[in-house]
């Protein structure tokens, strides 16, 4: 186990210093079920935009599509941010891609741009191995968003993984990153997320989609969408993934709606 303890007060200090919204208040837990669930509880009780929940260990960390997110103590980053977007649910649909782009910005800074890829919609990979994942939980009334909970899991020190993910997971330590201090990485992660979300808020996806495409590793790859095999044909302007299927049809697939498995890599 590493001695790299998390310092929530330092994260708050860094946030206030850079005049940011994310991380001005940080709730830290040695151990919790899921930081997304705790952040949702805070949001229901009126937590402000940018409140961060961070834990050293999660007992029931969640991934997309109901998977488990392995969350051992003292190793990685598990954090969630409360967002209160002013937009309707349809307008924020591509937000998950923007968050993946932000996490990949940080990974590229720490590891070198040429090594980092994005697997649509928001897995951050180094080569073919997963470094980080993003989970967005939305609460809305009709189309009006009450709050979003943005949860990020980023592997930092871990070098031994559960057998179920050992061949597909990696960490900053395994990849030889120059920075491995979890507190400093958390501050940089929050800054990256806020910067990209501000861009998205101001200009929508139009200017970001080319950067997302540049990191997309699915293009031309065989994929499986809800049991059907096809080939990824790139990301459309609205953020959906274009997939051509074996039966000759082409569909635009929404982020969050499907499980996408690349095979043959």
Selected binder of ligand BTN within 10, 13, 63, 129 (CB under 6 A): 63
Give yes or no for residue 43 binding ligand BTN (CB under 6 A). Answer: no
How many chain residues touch ligand BTN (CB under 6 A)? 20
Q: Between residues 167 and 178, which has the closer beta carbon with respect to ligand BTN? A: 167
Is 152 or 208 the residue whose CB approaches ligand BTN more closely? 152
Whether 244 and 236 have beta carbons less than 8 Å apart is answered as: no
Contact by Cβ (8 Å): 20, 50: yes
Residue 104, phi-psi category: left (phi > 0), alpha (psi -120 to 50), beta (remainder): alpha
Distance of CA 255 to the CA centre of its chain: 13
Instruction: Decide: 123 and 133 in contact? Cβ < 8 Å.
Output: yes
Measured from the CB atom, is 221 or 244 closer to ligand BTN?
A: 221
Nearer to ligand BTN by Cβ, of 65 and 88: the residue is 65
**Candidate ranges 76-84, 201-209, 211-219, 235-243; the one touching ligand BTN (CB under 6 A):** 76-84
x-or-dash pattern for ligand BTN, window 132-171, by CB under 6 A? -xxx---------------xxx------------------
CB within 8 Å of 160: residues ≥ 6 apart? 166
- Asked if residue 23 binds ligand BTN (CB under 6 A), the reply is no
> What are the E-state strand segments in 41-182?
52-55, 77-83, 116-119, 123-126, 129-141, 144-154
Site for ligand BTN, rule CB under 6 A: 34-36, 58, 61-64, 67, 69, 78-80, 123, 133-135, 151-153
């Amino acid at each position: 186990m590493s001695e790299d303890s998390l310092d929530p007060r330092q994260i708050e200090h860094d946030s206030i210093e850079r005049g940011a919204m994310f991380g001005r208040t940080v709730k830290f837990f040695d151990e919790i079920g899921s930081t997304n669930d705790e952040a949702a509880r805070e949001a229901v009780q009126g937590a402000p935009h940018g409140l961060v929940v961070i834990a050293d260990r999660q007992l029931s960390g969640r991934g997309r599509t109901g998977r488990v997110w392995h969350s051992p103590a003292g190793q990685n980053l598990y954090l969630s941010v409360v967002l209160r977007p002013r937009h309707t649910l349809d307008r924020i649909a591509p937000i998950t891609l923007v968050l993946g782009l932000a996490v990949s910005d940080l990974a590229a800074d720490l590891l070198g741009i040429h090594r980092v890829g994005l697997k649509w919609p928001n897995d951050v990979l180094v080569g073919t191995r997963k470094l980080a994942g993003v989970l967005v939980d939305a609460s809305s009334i009709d189309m009006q968003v009450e709050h979003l909970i943005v949860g990020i899991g980023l592997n930092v020190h871990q070098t031994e993984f559960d057998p179920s993910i050992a061949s597909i997971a990696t960490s900053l330590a395994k990849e030889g990153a120059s920075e491995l201090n979890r507190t400093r990485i958390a501050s940089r992660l929050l800054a990256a997320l806020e910067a990209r979300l501000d861009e998205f808020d101001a200009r929508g996806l139009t200017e970001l989609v080319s950067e997302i495409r540049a990191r997309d590793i699915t293009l031309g790859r065989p994929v499986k969408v809800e049991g059907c095999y096809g080939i990824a044909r790139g990301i459309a302007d609205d953020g959906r993934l274009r997939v051509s299927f074996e039966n000759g049809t082409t569909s635009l697939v929404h982020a969050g709606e499907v499980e996408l498995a690349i095979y043959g890599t």
